[in-house]
Amino acid sequence: MNIPVREGETIEGSRTTRNRPYPKREKYCPLPLTNYPPRWWTGRPPWIAPGTMGAKLLQARAASLLKEHAMTINRFRSPNMPWEGSACRSPAAGLSGACYALPALVAPGVLEPALWLTTAFLSCMADYVHISHDSAFHGLDRCWATLMLLRCSLLFGARLDPSFFLLALVPLGCFVKGRDAKLLPDPSGWVFWHTLWHCSGGLVVTLGVWMLYRAPAEAAASGLHIG
């Protein structure tokens, strides 16, 4: 029986072997661990390492958002809405600002609950009652929300685990998407993202306030130790 032989193959007895015109590949050897981490590594993902395109895009985006936010604060009485009349008035986007009153349920004393009740009140007044016309509530809401954001960043950053800030990316992302949705001809995108900004932000700060005040007190009462 004739066995066909392909080019580059020979027949040796009952075995068929292939000639190897290329050198045999050397066994894989990983790089020594002394080369890791690379010199440029700073603890961030490679795509946002200093000097990369990702880092430059993030810096440009952050600068643009800060500049836009400063402009909205300068236009103190303006709602800064691209749609006229009551087209942008939504019970979901406006009244969901009441979610920022949730931390008052777990905050101790009088001052802390009062701060969050004020936040919820200004949010509802600016985003629902006066959303279609100029009002001082718009500027008050923006300035107060900015101060509360800075206050929470300092308090939570000093006393909570840094991983908590990963949760803050959710409401911040919704806020940015809501700003971007103002470029659309229809307000439905802004309504969706602004509602999520209120709801997710209210839940995150409620958790943060509970971890800051109530969790240590409850652990001490039960004889446990947190942190």
Contact 8, 21 (CB under 8 A): yes
Residue 38: what pLDDT?
Answer: 46
Residue 121: what pLDDT?
Answer: 98
Cα–chain center distance at 63 = 16
Residue 23: what pLDDT?
Answer: 54
Q: Comparing C-alpha atoms, which of 125, 68, 103, 96 is closest to residue 192? A: 96
Residue 107: what pLDDT?
Answer: 94
Paired tokens of 12:
């040796």
Low-confidence ranges of the chain (pLDDT < 50): 13-14, 17, 28-42, 47, 227
Helix (H, G, I), strand (E, B) or coil at 76: coil
Helix (H, G, I), strand (E, B) or coil at 108: coil
Q: Comparing C-alpha atoms, which of 171, 208, 215 is closest to residue 193? A: 171
Single-letter code of the amino acid located at 103: P
CA distance 149 to 165: 12
Residue 216: what pLDDT?
Answer: 75
Q: CB under 8 Å to 212, separation ≥6 — which residues? A: 155, 156, 159, 160
